[in-house]
């Protein structure tokens, strides 16, 4: 992962995130479609270990941090997707192995400044201008720690979503129609059309495709209200497809199946989008997190490792 300071040149957190994803896309790989559900020995692991989590607070990381930590775990051959800050590790009586390199995770922080009168400036009740800035902090993997013994089952976070996707469809009040040979979300009719499950090469492929369309479905004005774009290849269209891809990957991890790259033809468009807009992936990952939150809300599930990290660091 790109460091914050390289050759004495500052690299913004957004660019660090974007560079990491771009490297994969330019190699023809979509990070979110990797088979994350394997351990360092190539063995299948528990469903709930798909999401990176903080082993001190037992909370999952969110948004773009998920892809950054998943990538770091794979690149370094870590066997557990569990992380914590230096202070949290010390508080647990542990130490970080000498020579271990930390990974950066990021969060949005609100700051106040004296108003300048600039267009679009948001003034709060205190008469100050409010801004959101992206900040980062460092975490270490559990494999990099000594004197901390945690069993694999202790790191499991059970999903609160229905086990069966048909039950999920009912829980979120989705109008799902089977038939034909195309999968799509109809904004006008507000329904999802899917070929029958037996038309797919596997049930997991059916689920991954359904999750992609559910991602689009959540963008309706009556739900999360996103801009869909008007034609193949335009910026908004490509951005929405990226949100749907990441949303599907989040849901795939929740259900313990391998995410499928639904639209490989979009890799070129995503590369262009990220090269021209360094905040694009962070924003897409944030929107995809909202999708997962929207779905989880129906099951009463909510987690945030970043908030707990900052509380512990204070």
Transcribe 86-98 into DSSP letters. Answer: HHHHHHTT-EEPT
pLDDT digits (tens, 9 = 90+) for 215-264: 999 999 999 999 887 655 678 888 999 999 999 989 988 888 877 776 67
pLDDT tens across 13-32, in order?
888 888 888 888 888 777 67
Helix (H), strand (E) counts: the chain:
9, 13
Check: CB of residue 32 under 8 Å from CB of residue 215.
no
76-98 confidence digits (pLDDT tens): 888 888 999 999 999 999 999 99
Q: What is the pLDDT of residue 258?
A: 76
Q: Whole-angstrom Cα distance, residue 269 to residue 23? A: 14
Question: DSSP alpha helices (H): ranges in 128-279?
Answer: 165-171, 203-217, 235-255, 267-276
* Average pLDDT value over all residues in the chain: 83
Strands 145-146 and 95-96: antiparallel
């Amino acid at each position: 992962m790109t460091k914050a300071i390289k050759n004495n040149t500052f690299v913004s957190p957004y660019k660090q995130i974007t560079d990491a994803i771009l490297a994969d896309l330019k190699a023809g790989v979509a990070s979110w479609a990797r088979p994350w559900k394997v351990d360092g020995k190539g063995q299948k692991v528990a469903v709930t270990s798909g999401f990176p989590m903080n082993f001190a607070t037992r909370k999952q990381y969110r948004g773009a941090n998920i892809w950054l930590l998943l990538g770091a775990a794979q690149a370094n051959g870590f066997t557990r997707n569990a992380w914590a800050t230096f202070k949290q590790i010390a508080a647990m009586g542990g130490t970080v192995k000498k020579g271990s390199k930390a990974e950066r995770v990021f969060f949005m922080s609100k700051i106040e400044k004296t108003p300048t009168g600039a267009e679009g400036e948001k003034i709060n009740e205190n008469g100050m201008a409010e801004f959101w800035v992206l900040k980062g902090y460092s975490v270490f993997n559990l494999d990099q720690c000594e004197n901390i013994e945690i069993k694999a089952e202790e790191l499991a976070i059970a999903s609160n979503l229905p086990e069966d996707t048909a039950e999920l469809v009912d829980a979120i009040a989705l109008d799902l129609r089977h038939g034909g040979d195309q999968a799509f979300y109809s904004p006008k009719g507000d329904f999802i059309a899917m070929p029958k499950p037996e038309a797919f090469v596997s049930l997991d492929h059916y689920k991954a495709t359904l999750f992609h369309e559910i991602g689009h479905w959540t963008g309706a004005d009556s739900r999360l209200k996103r801009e869909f774009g008007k034609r193949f290849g335009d910026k908004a269209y490509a951005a929405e497809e990226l949100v749907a891809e990441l949303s599907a990957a989040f849901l795939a991890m929740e259900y313990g199946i391998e995410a499928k790259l639904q639209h490989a033809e979009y890799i070129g468009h995503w590369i262009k989008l990220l090269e021209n807009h360094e905040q694009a992936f962070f924003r897409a990952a944030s929107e995809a997190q909202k999708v997962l939150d929207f779905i989880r809300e129906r099951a009463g599930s909510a987690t945030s490792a970043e908030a707990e990290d900052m509380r512990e660091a204070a």
